[in-house]
Amino acid sequence: MTKTGRRIIGIDLGTTFSLAAILDGGAPRVLPNSLGEALTPSAVSVDPSGRVLVGEAARARLALDPDSTAVAFKRSMGTADRFLLRGRSYSPEELSALVLRTIREDAEVALGGPIDEAVVTVPAYFGELQRRATKDACEIAGLHVERIVNEPTAAALAFGLHDKDRELRAIVLDLGGGTFDVTVLEIIQGVVEIQATAGDARLGGEDFTDALRDVLLQRFQAAHGQAPSSGIGVARVRAAAESAKRTLTSESRAVVRLLGVPLAGGGEVDFDTSLSAVDAQAAWRALLGRIEVPIRRALKDAQATPSAFDEVLLVGGATRMPVFRERMQDIFGAKLRTDLPPDEAVALGAAVQAALKVGDAAVADLVATDIAPFTLGVETVAEAGTTLVHGVFLPVLDRGTVLPASRVRSLLTVRAHQTQVAVRVFQGEHSQCGKNQLLGEYLVKGIPRSPAGAEQIDVRYTYDLNGLLEVESTVVSTGQTSTLVIERTPGLLSRKQVEAARAAMLRIKFHPRDALPNVTALARAEELHVELLGGERELLALGMQRLRLALESQDPAEIDPARAALNDLIGRLR
C-alpha cells in the first residue's frame, strides 16, 4: 500500500520467526521471503569466510556452529547484552536490524518496489527501553517506524477485521517463541477496545524447548557418564529437543536419534531415546504454572472471569502445543479460536494497522484503542513524622490507561531555598522505586529560593500509541518548562549510535539476494550431512559439490538445476 507514493508494510519481529504482511484487496496477506516461505527465522550467523547470513541459512548453521550463530536476541532488546560472532560484537538491536533489513528486502522483491515505512509489533509487556530499542533497530535497517503496536493488539485487529459486524468479548493468548502476552478486549461494530494486558517477557516456546533439552541432557549424562560438548554437542541436543517438541504437537511420542555426538571429555557417541507426551507434560509443569500468572492479572485488571469471554484467540506458534491448548480449555472452556494461522496473525494485524495509518477504505470502519502495559511514575520523598523517606514511587500514569494519554502530578520542594529538583522516571508496579525500572532522570533548575514546600513543580507524562513517553516539568511560579532527555542507558542507542550502526551495516558484505537460495540449500545440506552415514552421506556430499562447482561458473543454467537436485536429495534423505 502507499502513503504519499511510499509503501508501508506490517512487520512481526519475532523471537523465533519474523515476517511481513500487507492489506491486499481488503484482506491482509503475508509476503513471501526469497525462499517463497512465509516465515523467516530470526537468526544471524557468520560463516568462516566472514559472510553474514540471515534467516534460514543462519538457523541451519545453529547446530553446526553455535558459537557463531545468534538466535532469540529479541529477548535482550533494551539491555547491555552483546553477542560475539567470529570476533565481532553485536548488540541485540544490530542483530534485529539485520533481520529487519532482510524482511524489508524480501518484501521489496515481492511488491516490486522500495519500502521504507513500517508498522512494527512488540510484545505487550515490552517496556519503554525495549520499545525504543526496537525503533532503533528499525532505523538501523533503514525503516521509518510509522507505528509500534502491541502484538496481541495486532492479532485482535486481524480478527477484528473479520468480526467488524459482530459484538463480542475476547481474550488473546499470545505465546510466541520468547514472550507470552494476555490481552482482554471487546469488539463492537469494528471498534477493538483493549481493556487489560499482562504478560511475561521471558516466557515462550524457546523455554519449552529448553525444558525438553534439559531432560535429554540428563538422559545423555546417565547413559554415557558425561555431558556432550558445550558447543556443538549441546546445540545438537537442543535441536533434537526442538524437533521433538514439534513432533509432540501431533503425535504422542517423539523418537530422538543422534549420531556421533561430541563429548565434553573427547570422542563421540550415539544417543537414542524417546520422549512421550507424559514426559513433556512433566518437564513443562512449572512453565504452565507461569502461564497462568499473567492470565490471572489480566482478568483482575479487566474485572472479568474466564466465563465472561465469547472467544479465546490463540496467537503464536507455541499455542499449537496440545498441552497448552488443554490447559487453556480447562480454564476458559470450549471457546478456543484458531482460524487464523497462529504464526501469522500478528503480522496480519500489523498490516491492518498499516492500512489504518494510510486511510485504506477496506478498514475505514475499524478503530483500535490501546492501553499502557505498565504504570509510569516518578520518585518522590514522603514524610513519616519528622523523617523523610526517599525512593517512594508516585504513579503518574497507571497501568491500563487508554492511550494516547497525558497525566500530570504535582510535586513540592522539600528543603528551604531549594533551587533544583531531580526528576527520576520509573516504570513498574512496586511502591519502592528501587524495585522498578529506571527509565531516565534529569534536573529541573532555576527554582526560586523559597521556604520548604512553597514551590510547586508539575510533572506531566504524555504516552502515545507507539508506547513512547515524553516527560515535561513546569515550575508553576515561573512557568519555566523542561523536557526529559533520557541519558544513555543499556540498550538505548543515541542518534549518533544509530547513524554509526547504519554506516557499519553498509560495510557488511551480504551474499547477493539472488544467491541466498543457494546459500540456504548448502546450509541445510550441511546440517543433514552431520546426521548421515555411509552411502547416503557420500551421495549428499556429491550433490553439494555439484552445486559448489555450478556456483563457481556463475551460470544460472548450471546453478538452478544443481540447486534443485540438491533440494530434492535433501527432501528424500530426511
3-state class (DSSP) for residue 344 = coil
Q: Please, is 246 exposed, middle or buried when counting C-beta atoms within 10 Å of its C-beta (0-12, 13-18, 19+)?
A: middle
CA 333/CA 327 separation, integer angstroms? 10
Q: Strand runs (DSSP E) across 210-362, as ranges?
A: 253-262, 268-276, 311-315, 336-337
- Our answer to whether residue 12 is catalytic in this structure is yes
Q: Please, is 39 exposed, middle or buried when counting C-beta atoms within 10 Å of its C-beta (0-12, 13-18, 19+)?
A: buried
- Our answer to whether residue 65 is catalytic in this structure is no
CA 52/CA 74 separation, integer angstroms? 18
3-state class (DSSP) for residue 204 = coil
CA 351/CA 79 separation, integer angstroms? 28
Residue 107's identity, in one-letter code, is: A
Write down how long the chain is: 574
Q: Do the beta carbons of residue 154 and residue 12 sit within 8 Å?
A: yes
Q: Do the beta carbons of residue 18 and residue 11 sit within 8 Å?
A: yes
CA 308/CA 66 separation, integer angstroms? 46
Residue 290's identity, in one-letter code, is: R
List 47, 56, 65, 151, catalytic entry: 151
Strands across the sheet containing 456-463 = 405-412, 456-463, 469-475, 480-483
Q: Which of 415, 416, 430, 450 is nearest to 379 (CA)?
A: 430
List 163, 174, 311, 370, catalytic entry: 174
Q: Do the beta carbons of residue 457 and residue 442 sit within 8 Å?
A: no
List 12, 128, 163, 370, catalytic entry: 12
CB-CB neighbours of 482 under 10 Å: 19
- Our answer to whether residue 509 is catalytic in this structure is no
- Our answer to whether residue 151 is catalytic in this structure is yes
Helix extents (H) in 35-91: 56-59
List 47, 65, 74, 343, catalytic entry: 74
Q: Strand runs (DSSP E) across 456-517, as ranges?
A: 456-463, 469-475, 480-483
Q: Do the beta carbons of residue 138 and residue 18 sit within 8 Å?
A: no
Per-residue 3-state assignment (H helix, E strand, C coil) for 512-535: CHHHHHHHHHHHHHHHHHHHCCHH
Please give the backbone phi and psi of residue 234, each rounded to the nearest 5 degrees, phi first. -65, -40
Q: Do the beta carbons of residue 128 and residue 41 sit within 8 Å?
A: no
For the chain, first and last CA: distance in Å? 40
What cell does 473 get?
Answer: 516539568
List the catalytic residues.
12, 74, 151, 174
